[in-house]
Homo-oligomer: A and B are copies of this chain.
Amino acid sequence: MVSRDQSAMVAFVDRLNRRSSLSHAECGALLELRGRVSVARANIDIVSPGQRTDHACLVLDGMAGRFGQVANGQRQITALHIVGDMCDLHSIVAPRAGWALQALAPTSIMQVPHEQLLDIAQTYPNVARAFWRDCSVDASVLSQWLVNVGRLDARARLAHLICEMGVRMEEAALGVRTGFILDMSQDQIADALGLTPVHVNRTLKVLREEGVLELSRRFVRILDWELLVVIAEFDPHYLQIEPDAMRRAA
């Protein structure tokens, strides 16, 4: 357990360090962060809308999503978080949650107190900058999703999501971009893409028949990455990953 917690925290610090460069002392301080660990079953709120939080949520295991909801009950996922993501970093500056944070699969979360994060941010302004930068990456992803949902058809949108998650999984050392566990149901994928589950299913079938990818038992295997990138119009720039990783995605 301890090692699992630790490895997620390492992934988080790596993630920050890949986009901002942190000193040894700064990394060390971040790695000292600790919080209460809680477990959520799939489709259970980790943070409820309107709730005021005093902690940020580090994903230790599983997967989480941010959900918007409309009057007729339909939902839209606005962010997906994998192991090593600090979902709620922005809650430091905006502690009242606007949306639900929910587990997509059985998920463990470490609740890192704002207090600890603020301490580090005050001691190391460079870390504060790294936090802000991390939030701006999330916003960049959000922009890309808006473009996709607004202007791409179902096939391209689905392909784009798979590309993004592949690159992110690889970045977080949770798999390779051509083979990784995407621990979401087709219903949840539909909520991320602004589609219906039925249409996601049909669209997956199309991609399968094109020989681009396979998705079964929540494992994605990409058979033709190059083609998938073309279908998705995927340009990993928006993920703001280090140059190395970006070159490999082209």
Spell out A's residues near B (CB within 8 Å).
66, 68-71, 74-76, 78-79, 90, 93-94, 98-99, 122, 125, 128-129, 131-133, 135-140, 142-147, 149-152, 193-194, 233, 237-238, 240
Name the contact of A70 in the complex, choosing from B133, B151, B194 (C-beta under 8 A): B151
Query: With a CB–CB cut-off of 8 A, which chain B residues contact A128?
Result: 125, 128, 132
Q: Secondary structure at chain A's binding surface: helix, strand, loop or mixed?
A: helix
Query: With a CB–CB cut-off of 8 A, which chain B residues contact A129?
Result: 93
Measured CB to CB, the closest approach of chain B to A213, in angstroms, equals 20
Residue contact A66 to B98, C-beta cutoff 8 Å: no
Q: Tell me, in angstroms, the Cα distance from A142 to B74 when the chains sit together.
A: 18
The residue among A90, A94, A150 with the most chain B CB atoms within 10 A of its own CB is A150
Query: With a CB–CB cut-off of 8 A, which chain B residues contact A76?
Result: 146-147, 150-151
Kindly report how many copies of this chain are found in the complex they form together: 2
Q: Tell me, in angstroms, the Cα distance from A232 to B79 when the chains sit together.
A: 23
Q: Tell me, in angstroms, the Cα distance from A88 to B238 when the chains sit together.
A: 16
Residue contact B139 to A99, C-beta cutoff 8 Å: no
Q: Tell me, in angstroms, the Cα distance from A208 to B76 when the chains sit together.
A: 29
Chain B, Cβ-Cβ closest to A73: B151
